[in-house]
Amino acid sequence: MVRLRFAPSPTGHLHIGAARTAIYNWLFARHYGGSFILRIEDTDFERSSEEMTEGILAGLKWLGLDWDEKPVFQSQRIKLYQEKAAELVKKGAAYYCSEGSSQAVRFKVPNKDVFYKDLIHGPITVKSKNIEDFVLLRSNGLPTYHLSVVVDDIDLGITHIIRGDDHISNTPKQILLYRALGVSPPEFAHQSLIFGPDKKKLSKRHGVTSVLQFREMGILPLALFNYLAQMSWDPGEERIYSRGEIIEKFYLDKRSQGSPVFDISKLEWINGRLISDKSAEELFPLVKAVLQEKGLWQHDLDIEKRPWFLQLIGLLKERSRKIEDFSDRALPFISDNFPYESKAVKKHLKDERLGELLARLSDDFIGLESFKALPLEKALRSRAEKEGIKPALLIHAARVLVLGTGVSPGIFDVLEIMGKEKTLERLAAFNSVSKSSKQ
């Protein structure tokens, strides 16, 4: 049975590159019916923190990743690493060396080239003369990365390791350690690193890279999961898959060796697709949380106005790429304190005839028995025909006055949800709104 692990260090947040590594290890384990192990590499006592550990766990859970055994913490296994270092010295595979007034343990590199077959890159050979004797145990008794990783992977029975290309230089040393401890090394797969738009390794300078930051900006977990899973792997058809579908299709031999570029606009496009596919009921708690965070939530939206609010979510979801977008787009519907885009006001409210035209259009709206999209559209187009003008003049003006923006979902659907009273009130504000743009 295959056993894979994800081994983050809690010295920072769970970033995009680490999340993709976790996803590929999890997919491999789930595809072959194996185990996915979580190991926290927290031997850097000065920089590791419980807060970071909790953040990493929260990020993995949010992405939909689970692990099959209780997480392993390296900080609780120091004695085991010390015992293995002593065992290697006893075998003659390592030796004590001085570090100041104390003794460290250093591995004795044998005079033999290291060969292994990488599951992504293919055969790799490293000459032993290019590997210097490396430290296993520091003079303070703490293990180096190489020792703790190998000892843990042996103890946990890890069969496959999927990690970034930045670990390729570590692999020969670790293979030597596995063999010195009398164990066959696991199979390695080194995946290309994620680059930013400038073709350099993705980092904080490129903006948001922390998984939980994406959650805060309204990215859905399945959107980020799909985007990261398909970054260097081709499932055969570019679309949004469920986690189960990706598990079924996942094979390492369908991976690309090229370095993928993180494209936030593509992630947002995927997210927008998922948002539009969700029902208003499914989106309700997510939108509610965003409005609460912005201080815009109104108690009655969850009670007597809930049906109306669900209708509003259904209208807005088609143009929303992030859950966060709902707060700005819902604002004119739930509050009179919303901004007017100056560019839209100047462009669509400049015609001096609009004051009278909108007044007559309002009279038409007042006379409607049903304030629904179809009667509203019929009334507006009829008024335009009577006035000898294009309907667009009234449509654009109504959009700016009612919503404050020059772009929106279908204006007649907007007016229906806005309601007769609020629509008439905002159309009547033409003079004050248009005058403000001229000051």
The answer on 208 and 250 residing in a single domain is yes
The 8-class DSSP code of residue 69 comes to S
pLDDT in tens, 228-265: 999 888 887 878 999 999 999 998 876 666 778 899 99
Q: Is 136 helix (H, G, I), strand (E, B) or coil?
A: strand
The answer on 314 and 286 residing in a single domain is yes
The answer on 380 and 289 residing in a single domain is no
Q: What is the CATH number of the domain that holds 367?
A: 1.10.10.350
Query: Residue 327's domain spans which residues?
Result: 278-335
Which residues, at least 6 apart from 127, have a Cβ–Cβ distance to it below 8 Å? 113
pLDDT for the residue 242? 94
User: Catalytic: 204?
Assistant: yes
Q: Which of 204, 254, 347, 372 is catalytic?
A: 204
The answer on 349 and 301 residing in a single domain is no
The answer on 198 and 53 residing in a single domain is yes
pLDDT for the residue 200? 78
- Residue 125's H or E segment, with its range, is strand 122-126
Q: What is the CATH number of the domain that holds 53?
A: 3.40.50.620
Which parts of the chain have pLDDT scores under 50?
A: none
Measured in degrees and rounded to the nearest 5, phi and psi for residue 260 equal: -75, 150
pLDDT for the residue 207? 66
The answer on 241 and 218 residing in a single domain is yes
pTM of the model: 0.89
Do strands 3-6 and 187-191 pair parallel, antiparallel, or not at all (unpaired)?
unpaired
The CA radius of gyration of the chain, in Å to the nearest whole number, is 30
pLDDT for the residue 296? 92
Q: How many domains are there within the chain?
A: 3
Residue 367 lies in a domain: yes
Whether 67 contacts 38, CB under 8 Å:
yes
The answer on 355 and 331 residing in a single domain is no
The answer on 414 and 343 residing in a single domain is yes
Residue 288 lies in a domain: yes
Residue 322 lies in a domain: yes
